[in-house]
Amino acid sequence: MTLMEQYKRANEALHPTGKAAEGALSGAAKPRSRRPLRAVIPAGIAAALAVVLLVTGVPGLGGGGMSASAAYALAEPTYPDLPHMPTEPLNGGDAAWERFNEDYDAYWQAWKDFQDEVPRLYEQEDLLSALADFSAESTTLALAGEGNGVYSPISLWFALAMLAETTDGDSRQEILDALGAEDVEQLRSWADSLWHDLYTDDGAAAVLLGTSLWLNEGMDYRQETVDSLAEHYYAGSYRVPMGTDEADDALSAWTAERTNGLIGADGKVLETTPDTLMVLASTLYAMGRWSDEFRAENNTDDVFTAADGTEQEAEFMHRTDDSTFLRREGYQAAYLYTTAAQVVFVLPDEGVSPRDLLADPDLLGSLDFEDEDAIYGEVQWSLPKFDVGSDLDLKSTLAGLGIASVLDPEAADFSPLTDTDPVWLNQAKQIARVKVDEQGIEAAAVTLLGASGAGGPPEDPQICVMDLDRPFLFVIRSNNDVNLFVGVVDSLV
């Protein structure tokens, strides 16, 4: 059995699809020691996103007082201490393979025990339904602008879930409604299941979530809320002199560490002010390789026609797969697997834009390659190497989701966190970057929420020509169909 086959075997057991869930083994939960998150996968598929909720209050707080050293940590999270997937022996006899099988079984069981500590994602239809609704609605809102855009529904979900913990009254209820949860207790349970199900760091793939709370050093706060964020969201908590380079650099360094340097390593992710009372940060990092890499010797130079009609020279990668694809009114879609996630590419028909498709909130949920209209045949890939980025303002996204009170200084209620008044959320921003090459896809994004006080189809219907030489969509989703990232590529420059 090859290394990839070994991984797929483990992945199917650890991240079963809905159809495979019935056959999943049940096992007793075991307590696990913890260690800091780390990314160990080399270049391949990588995605990172940081969501920052910046909360401001009455003027005059913060600024100064802290040395130029690191932020003062109120709480540091601990993370699972789990084994890496063993390496298949290249040489050796029966003894080497016996040892490999023993190590592999131990690796498989340890990861399964960790995921079985909480209810599995595929067992919770209410969570899957709520997450799908949030993903569909928020993606349509977040990517409604022009140009390239990359958005992570799951990272914003975690940031908003933490925001619900720090708010009350209408401020909290509007967040709960947007996330489809009855109360914060249900949110905590859902977050635990999502965290356990998505978390991967086994040497062959990585999907890593990071969360943190940053408090103004001049702000009084309630310790029980800080403790709740640490317990239910693995959130570290820090006090910093807001409005200083020290605070901004500490937040950027934390972000860079959690995203393997894709975000925050080259500059500030956010500039705070002395009036900034709190920042909630949520990062998402995913990395892996194509299950079948593109060969560089097959690359060709060709033209990508951008949304504005300009022709851009690009290097295209080529390969042909026997796979399932979709051909529907307005678009065709096919997918590629990586060791970390599935990547779906959606190519709109001529005259149809990616955002025309995203205007339909049912689009993401309809990209099911097991549907009756799915076609099994030959997929001919022509995929441009690209490096695109975006800077999204998400305030209108929050408003579109019905989250309004927390944005209003006169209505926002942050009483679970502080007695300071007024306190409100005044900024929502997400910065992202995506790179695709022969090995895989690499992406990064940071979301900042700030508060203040082809032509026609081929003749053969069994052939799908995925020639992505014009604007297209991509979706990076987990093995349980959780949308990690959704992106629009309108231009390659």
Q: Which of 78-82, 150-154, 232-236, 471-475 has the lowest mean pLDDT?
A: 78-82
Residue 210 has pLDDT above 50, yes or no: yes
* pLDDT for the residue numbered 205: 85
Burial bucket for residue 376 (CB in 10 Å: 0-12, 13-18, 19+) = exposed
What is the C-alpha separation between 105 and 13, in angstroms, rounded? 12
Beta bridge partners of 210: 283
- Tokens of residue 127, six digits: 């969570």
What is the tens place of the pLDDT at every residue in 165-197?
999 999 999 999 999 999 999 999 999 999 999
Residues 428 and 285 in one domain: yes
* pLDDT for the residue numbered 78: 79
CB-hemisphere CA count at 13 Å for 274? 8
* pLDDT for the residue numbered 4: 35
Residues whose CB falls within 8 Å of the CB of residue 263, separated by 6 or more in sequence, listed in order: 48, 49, 50, 255, 256, 269, 283, 431, 433, 444, 445, 446
Average pLDDT over residues 236-246: 92
Per-residue pLDDT band at 25 (split at 50, 70, 90): very low
- Tokens of residue 304, six digits: 């990508």
DSSP helix/strand/coil, 252: helix
What is the C-alpha separation between 109 and 111, in angstroms, rounded? 5
What is the C-alpha separation between 291 and 401, in angstroms, rounded? 37
- Tokens of residue 225, six digits: 């809320």
Residues 149 and 167 in one domain: yes
Residues 96 and 153 in one domain: no
- 15 compared with 71, residue with greater pLDDT: 71
What is the tens place of the pLDDT at every residue in 436-447?
778 766 665 555
Do the bridges between strand 375-384 and strand 342-348 make them parallel or antiparallel, or are there none, so unpaired?
Answer: unpaired
Average pLDDT over residues 112-130: 94
Which domain range does residue 395 map to? 45-70+118-289+391-449
Whether a cis peptide bond, with omega within 30° of 0, leads into 119 is: no
What is the C-alpha separation between 477 and 135, in angstroms, rounded? 11
Residues 279 and 374 in one domain: no
Residue 151 has pLDDT above 70, yes or no: yes
Residues 204 and 108 in one domain: no
Residues 319 and 468 in one domain: yes
Residues 131 and 204 in one domain: yes
Residues 100 and 50 in one domain: no
What is the tens place of the pLDDT at every residue in 328-371?
999 999 999 988 889 999 999 999 999 999 999 899 999 999 99
Eight-state DSSP code of residue 422: S
**CATH number of the domain where residue 187 is located:** 3.30.497.10
Q: What is the DSSP string of 109-175?
A: HHHHHHHTTS--GGG-HHHHHHHHHHHHHHHHHHT-SSS-EEE-HHHHHHHHHHHHHT--HHHHHHH
Residues 259 and 330 in one domain: no
- The domain total for the chain is 3
Domain-located, residue 418: yes
Buried b (16+ CB within 10 A) or exposed e, 48-69: bbbbbbbbbbeeebbbeebeee
Domain-located, residue 444: yes
Domain-located, residue 174: yes
Eight-state DSSP code of residue 34: B
Dihedral of the alpha carbons of 72, 78, 79, 82, in degrees to the nearest 10: 130
Kindly report the pTM of this predicted structure: 0.86
